[in-house]
Structure 1
């Protein structure tokens, strides 16, 4: 098991920290060409107006349903060549096989261009430790400026949270924006800002904050004088049952983590995940859970506010003692809970046919 304790941060070893003058934050200027509002919210018009249609795929059920939904509409318009599927590879913190599955789903959907992007540098646990070092140094500087003992400072939590989702910007949004830069350069001959339609699988039913998101909006932070980025959330109003019906219709495989009982995919230990999910993840990935617990000790803060990984591991151990090891459920268990066993059986046959057709074509 790779230890998260190998990072060498001078600030954590008692090295002196030089006083730093805080620079005033400058408001980010948005290029004058970037529109305030989208020119349309009609799906087919969004597709027709775009130069690139970027479908963000985590490999999870929502992005999978969104993928086939968008591809079907683009194909009907004769514009499938505009579609690019991008998967942000999170490495060992995501469920095994996620990257491969996201690529397979895109291939089976008929998309020819698939991009896998990955953030440079440390993984999530390494970033937590680096962030802790920066927060500690900042707290010590502020204490010195105030004439207080820097050794007694309280350091802000270094873990991501609902109010500090730096993990999303660091390991997902940033690498995807790098792809936007490459796609923009490929169409520089147009002599105007390249229009990118950025498709996200966020749904209103997931949370109150996501319910407030617009189905279509201009992403002014991702836009500039060379590219205009419009965010489209094609399945924003869908229910869980509608998502599973779309997956059943498409015949594309979904991640087995859902059959195990997980409600979310992506990071196997998500700070926004419910207690049942993270406890189940600790039963399925005990070594990775131990790494998170070790990092809690290093940074002096719980993985989730009010719920430590140490406690999660303890609860997982109790369930293991009471119930025994987690047993692999039958394939289709998650889907059957929403659309029924008969429809799920039809899906499983369709999935095998779809996979076989791809194998024969290859």
Structure 2
């Protein structure tokens, strides 16, 4: 479809996941914004999933950025100043009263059930509502200045090839309308095929995430097919097996949540229980699992422990179920600089781990 009238919006808000579709979306959207002369109204957002995101890694002496860094690079590559790219994440009061990150896995552990078809609460609570809350200060200021509801265009990189639910989703629709804000949603690359996206990346000004390849730097697109959560309940079985091989410590954590809550990570997502897909069985296999061989894995002792500890505490202490709305769980908003050590320092946690290729067994 043709682009909506971008000049009619007060805030243009592309949401970047750091995946392959986000880069294409940003290129198409920013071209339309510059053609309309409203690129100065753009503020890009990345909703950080913390420990669940694909992290930055070093392999063969080369550093490959994680998805948070990639989102910042995608924003900068197409003309958005660093100060207008914001990384947001959920926070909640900690034991000492200060606010601390509240990861999606912490919520799953407290809630007692993994997301599934018909109840994909992860999409709203960990992404959409966090960005929506981050708009509130801008909405309050502009509403006083304009004397009317603030018009916002939410731009996303969802495509029809991603699944039947996204194929049914309208390329343009109004998702919220009240006295404070009117929010429209636009999917500019909805009709792009997966092949077209990969072809575009051959000459793209930004790299794509390392997890798409079988081995880092291979350029074969034979790794995971998507780049959302490292372990996503809606991922294909081959993606789950590959992700477990690449992030075994995270798989162990999911397995602990499964055991503590008695809920299946992957089988119930499709209402088709599959014992072989339970993280509790896949995390520490005694034999080589079927599917594609993982190219890298995360060794013991690598990575950050803060968000992981929060998830395990949720299973052990019976943390109350948190609110899925903006109330009670506040977003942490911070600008992300796309280059230099400062950009890495802005992410929570310790420096990234070095990943090594697996040994044949």
- Give 2:107's match in structure 1, choosing from 123, 127, 136: 127
Q: Where do 5+ consecutive residues of structure 2 fail to align? A: 56-65, 93-101, 215-222, 298-338, 341-361
Matched, 1:87 2:41: no
Matched, 1:207 2:163: yes
Write 1 or 2 for the structure with the bigger share of strand. Answer: 2
Q: Give the TM-score normalised by structure 2.
A: 0.68
Q: Report the Cα distance in structure 2 between the residues aligned to 1:324 and 1:211, rounded to whole angstroms.
A: 30
Q: Cα deviation per residue 1:50-69 (whole Å; 9 max; x = unaligned)?
A: 11111010001111110111
Deviation, 1:327, is 5.6
**Match in the other structure for 2:193:** 239
Task: Write out aligned runs for 1:1-362 (5 A).
Answer: 42-43=2-3, 45-96=4-55, 97-112=66-81, 113-121=84-92, 122-132=102-112, 158-188=113-143, 189-220=145-176, 223-260=177-214, 261-304=223-266, 305=268, 306=273, 307-313=277-283, 317-319=287-289, 326=295
Q: Report the Cα distance in structure 2 between the residues aligned to 1:316 and 1:77, rounded to whole angstroms.
A: 58
Q: Give the TM-score normalised by structure 1.
A: 0.67
Contact 1:65 1:244 in 2 (8 A): no
Q: RMSD across aligned C-alpha pairs, in angstroms?
A: 2.3
Deviation, 1:206, is 1.2
Write 1 or 2 for the structure with the bigger share of helix. Answer: 1
Q: Report the Cα distance in structure 1 between the residues aligned to 2:149 and 2:292, rounded to whole angstroms.
A: 58
Q: Report the Cα distance in structure 1 between the residues aligned to 2:150 and 2:120, rounded to whole angstroms.
A: 28
Deviation, 1:225, is 0.6
Q: Where do 5+ consecutive residues of structure 1 fail to align? A: 1-40, 133-157, 329-357
Change (3 A) 1:123 1:323: closer
Deviation, 1:174, is 1.3
Q: Report the Cα distance in structure 1 between the residues aligned to 2:236 and 2:292, rounded to whole angstroms.
A: 20
Change (3 A) 1:47 1:198: same
Q: Report the Cα distance in structure 1 between the residues aligned to 2:154 and 2:286, rounded to whole angstroms.
A: 38
Deviation, 1:252, is 1.5
Deviation, 1:290, is 0.6
Q: Report which of the two structures shows the higher radius of gyration computed on alpha carbons.
A: 1
Contact 1:283 1:316 in 2 (8 A): no
| 1:187 partner SS | helix
| 1:102 partner SS | helix
Q: Which has the higher contact order (CA 8 A, sep 6+)?
A: 2
Contact 1:55 1:85 in 2 (8 A): yes
Q: Report the Cα distance in structure 2 between the residues aligned to 1:245 and 1:50, rounded to whole angstroms.
A: 32
Deviation, 1:101, is 1.4
